[in-house]
Structure 1
């Protein structure tokens, strides 16, 4: 078994470092830096996968992108006893939350966070996305109110996939008055494997995100 993670600074690939550290799975990491002018990935990453995206992982010779798919597959291979639901009744909610982060939540959060760096979103788009962000964060806040994690009583791949979007929201001052969601994010930050991922991969979020 061999796992090679192509990690790009300030990117979603930090969540895969975190996952691998949580599972104690051996891996090799190849680190890439963004272009200082365009902030885009370097040409070397496109040589690994044509989309030049991070995370990109190579598992036993197979190249994968897409965070949700990578997390789901790695857990199936190496961490199903600890990072997937302990019982079958939680699996539908687990899969829904696992893919919610990138499937539904990512677009409104990322566009809203980046808006100030591109001159703003304008009243129509800004209003639409603002309402979406409120709805999405309220939904996540409700899920962790009186619950330590998104699904069941322990950390799962869904929490690992969600953390990046919450870090973006926090850095962009979007979390607002949501004490349950803030406490949940702090619990994730306090995990040793989360802290190790930052130590190894650098900050998850670009400091200037949100303006």
Structure 2
């Protein structure tokens, strides 16, 4: 039996979505972030030494990292669903987006999250203007331009077919979902700046498998 070690408001939400799309049986073991630090609980360390999510167990296997989990589930259980033909150019795009999501795209979004927290964190009054000034400077001069560059690139790439890897929905779209939801939540993605990406978000959010995963995964604050 597949068990998803599911952390609230995390990348593991898209693993639930993939499992729903593949119509696989699975169980959810829930973990809650510390309300102060927003970090995963120490109990996840018993599943994987890094104590992060997503992690799945499947019989005697433990698999971490979103891309590795997606590839494992697709290769073992999909029967060629949600993946382009391996001899096609679309398959190369599929592999590219699987790795782009956690490689290039998430780095500036994570940096923005960190520097936002620096601005918002309590600190001695004499340090506050200096720390916040540095955080704002880094965000405006480097982080936000990088996020915008990535979003402009994605807007162009998706304009042909409306999906990331060819003319059909694939697991690459599932992998990219967290990136664009995070971008909409804190990276400036909106209908005015990137209308095609927002249409893509609306399409995936309307999918029955996505809605089922959301119901089973419970709170997912990236959407609000």
How does the TM-score come out when normalised to structure 1? 0.91
For 1:118-161, what per-residue CA distance to the aligned partner results, in whole angstroms no more than 9, with x for missing partners?
Answer: 20533145411122111111111111114221111221111101
How many pairs were matched up? Answer: 207
In the TM superposition, 1:45-64 aligns within 5 A as 45-64=44-63
2:81 counterpart SS class: helix
Of structures 1 and 2, the larger Rg is shown by: 2
| d(CA) in 2 for partners of 1:81, 1:182 | 28
Q: What CA deviation, in whole Å up to 9, does each residue of 1:79-124 have, x standing for no partner?
A: 1422111352121111001110001100112222453232053314
**Corresponding residue for residue 201 of structure 1:** 217
Alpha-carbon distance between aligned partners in 2 of 1:149 and 1:80, rounded to the nearest angstrom:
20
TM-score norm. by structure 2 comes to 0.86
1:138-157 to 2 correspondence within 5 Å?
A: 138-157=152-171
Hey, what's the Cα distance between the residues in 2 that align with 1:158 and 1:31? 25
Any gaps of 5 or more consecutive residues in structure 1? none
The alpha-carbon distance between structure 1 residues 60 and 96, as it changes in their structure 2 partners (threshold 3 A), is same
* Aligned mates of 1:101, 1:205 — CA distance in 2: 19
* Residues 122 and 183 of structure 1: CA distance in aligned 2, closer, same or farther (over 3 Å): same
Whole-Å Cα distance in 2 between the matches of residues 27 and 55 of structure 1? 14
- Pairwise CA RMSD: 1.7
- Once the two structures are TM-superposed, the CA of residue 164 in structure 1 deviates from its matched residue by 0.7
Q: What is the distance in 1 between the residues matched to 2:33 and 2:116?
A: 20
Asked if 1:30 is matched to 2:29, the reply is yes
The secondary structure found in structure 2 opposite 1:83 is: coil
Contact conserved, 1:167 with 1:205, CA < 8 A, in 2? no
C-alpha distance in structure 1 between counterparts of 2:103 and 2:52, whole Å: 16
1:180 equivalent among 192, 196, 211: 196
- Give the distance between the partners of 1:115 and 1:192, measured in 2 at CA: 36
Corresponding position of 1:17: 16
What is the aligned partner in structure 2 of residue 111 from structure 1? 111
Cα shift readout 1:161-184 (whole Å, capped 9, x = no counterpart): 111111111112511411001001
8 Å CA contact 2:9, 2:220 repeated in 1: yes
